[in-house]
Amino acid sequence: MEATVSQSLRLTTWTSSDYTVPTMRNSMRLHTIFEKKKRDNNNMLQCNHLATIKPTIGHRTTGLKASCTSQNSPASLLKSETFITEEDLLLKEKSEEIKPCLSGRCIYLVGMMGSGKTTIGQILSEVLDYSFFDSDKLIEQTAGGTPVSDIFKLHGEGYFRNKETEVLHKLSLMHQLVISTGGGAVIRPINWKYMHKGISVFIDVPLDALAQRITAIGTASRPLLHHGTGDAYTQTFRRLSKLWEERSEAYTNAHVRVSLECIAEKLGVGDVCSVNPTQIAIEALVQIEDYLKE
Ligand SMILES: Nc1ncnc2c1ncn2[C@@H]1O[C@H](COP(=O)(O)OP(=O)(O)OP(=O)(O)O)[C@@H](O)[C@H]1O
Ligand SMILES: O=C(O)C1=C[C@@H](O)[C@@H](O)[C@H](O)C1
């Protein structure tokens, strides 16, 4: 059966509305697309010319719409339709450039609660072909599936911090991992000894953006933010501010800082909420590359 590939270019600019449009929800991730291409020999999706596109942060985003159909199949059997944006390509390109320089070293993402460590970590692990771990989830596993908030309630924060250190120790003996650490992992110097076996990346998000995100999700799984009555945003903002006062210096131990304010400035968007996870992952790779060159 002969296969037909139709491709069309879609142009967008980076605006605040773009966060909801192109890469995260409506597209398969690039890795998945390439894996699918490898598997499906009939659908010879030729993207060679894409190698010539050199996207840069701050420029217009070009997306490639790729539809793979079979000539003998009705339109309803359209096999796939997806958008590969310039950001996806840049992300892939950067990850391929950096991977050999990492020599298998792990990447530790640190940052306040809700800063996007899990979201960015999953993207980075995918493009680097690393495994992804969330240290909070590992602690829950070692506690027989008890949620972090219950571990705090049952055993107290000190017990949780000991488990966190144990988990980070174990992870530090491994390679090719992206690790999303707990927001408070930075407060113990011993944890830095373990995290510095790899490359540590601080995702720096302004507190008001964090408070907005966390208020939207709720604080049920975040014991240090549990609060009673009153306006949830204000309460969350206050608690985050207090934690930030205690921890801001500890975050500067990270090898690399990825600031959403700086990315927003580079992109020429006024608001950090317009910066999407792919753009943050690209910036993380750029900063890691700079660090490795030092
Ligand atoms: N760039 C972004 N813009 C808007 N929302 C985002 C962005 N990145 C992540 N989010 C959202 O913010 C919330 C928190 O993200 P995520 O779970 O990745 O953070 P985290 O740092 O791992 O949090 P925690 O340490 O509390 O587990 C999620 O709802 C996620 O979808
Ligand atoms: O910021 C913190 O101290 C925490 C963040 C979460 O990831 C969990 O590790 C736990 O809720 C504590």
> pLDDT per residue over 173-215, tens digit each?
999 999 999 999 999 999 999 999 999 999 999 999 999 999 9
In a domain, 48, yes or no: yes
Indicate the top mutation candidate among 109, 148, 151, 247 to test ligand 2's pocket, ranked by most ligand atoms within 8 A of CB. Answer: 148
DSSP string across 94-138 = HHHHHHHHHTT--EEEE-STTSSHHHHHHHHHHHHT-EEEEHHHH
What's the pLDDT tens digit per position in 36-86? 434 433 332 222 222 222 333 433 344 555 444 444 444 444 455 567 899
77-81, 113-117, 124-128, 168-172, range with the lowest pLDDT: 77-81
Confirm whether the ipTM is greater than 0.90.
yes
Report the atom number in ligand 2 closest to the C-alpha of 181. Answer: 7
> Is the same domain home to 157 and 239?
yes
Q: Which pLDDT value is given to residue 96?
A: 97
Give the C-alpha separation, 177 to 124, whole Å.
Answer: 10
CA of residue 216 to ligand 2 center, whole Å = 17
Ligand 2 neighbour 222 (Cβ under 6 A): yes
In a domain, 273, yes or no: no
In a domain, 265, yes or no: no
User: Which strands, in side-by-side order, build the sheet including 199-204?
Assistant: 131-134, 177-180, 107-110, 199-204, 256-259
> Is the same domain home to 192 and 69?
no
> Is the same domain home to 86 and 112?
no
Domain count within the chain:
2
In a domain, 95, yes or no: no
CA of residue 86 to ligand 1 center, whole Å = 23
> Is the same domain home to 156 and 128?
yes
pLDDT band for position 217 (50/70/90)? confident
In a domain, 280, yes or no: no
CA of residue 210 to ligand 1 center, whole Å = 8
Query: ∠ at Cα 280 (110, 15), nearest 5°?
Result: 145
Report the atom number in ligand 2 closest to the C-alpha of 184. Answer: 3
In a domain, 135, yes or no: yes
pLDDT average, residue stretch 158-181: 98
Chain centroid, CA 237 distance in Å: 23
In a domain, 275, yes or no: no
- Tokens encoding 294: 């030092």
Give the C-alpha separation, 114 to 160, whole Å.
Answer: 19
Which residues contact residue 241 at a Cβ distance below 8 angstroms, ignoring those fewer than 6 apart? Answer: 207
Give the C-alpha separation, 279 to 216, whole Å.
Answer: 22
> Is the same domain home to 225 and 197?
yes
Ligand 2 atom 11, closest CA:
222
Give the C-alpha separation, 160 to 166, whole Å.
Answer: 10
Give the C-alpha separation, 276 to 265, whole Å.
Answer: 13
Supply the range of the domain harboring residue 129: 103-254
* Residue 197 backbone dihedrals phi, psi, to 5 degrees: -70, -25
CA of residue 25 to ligand 1 center, whole Å = 15
- Tokens encoding 287: 């900063």
> Is the same domain home to 68 and 120?
no
pLDDT band for position 263 (50/70/90)? very high
> Is the same domain home to 158 and 57?
no
| CATH number, residue 140 | 3.40.50.300
Ligand 2 neighbour 151 (Cβ under 6 A): no
In a domain, 96, yes or no: no
CA of residue 240 to ligand 1 center, whole Å = 15
> Is the same domain home to 230 and 121?
yes
Number of neighbouring beta carbons within 10 Å of residue 194: 22
Q: At what angle do helices 117-128 and 30-39 cross, to 10 degrees?
A: 30
Q: Indicate the pTM of the whole model.
A: 0.79
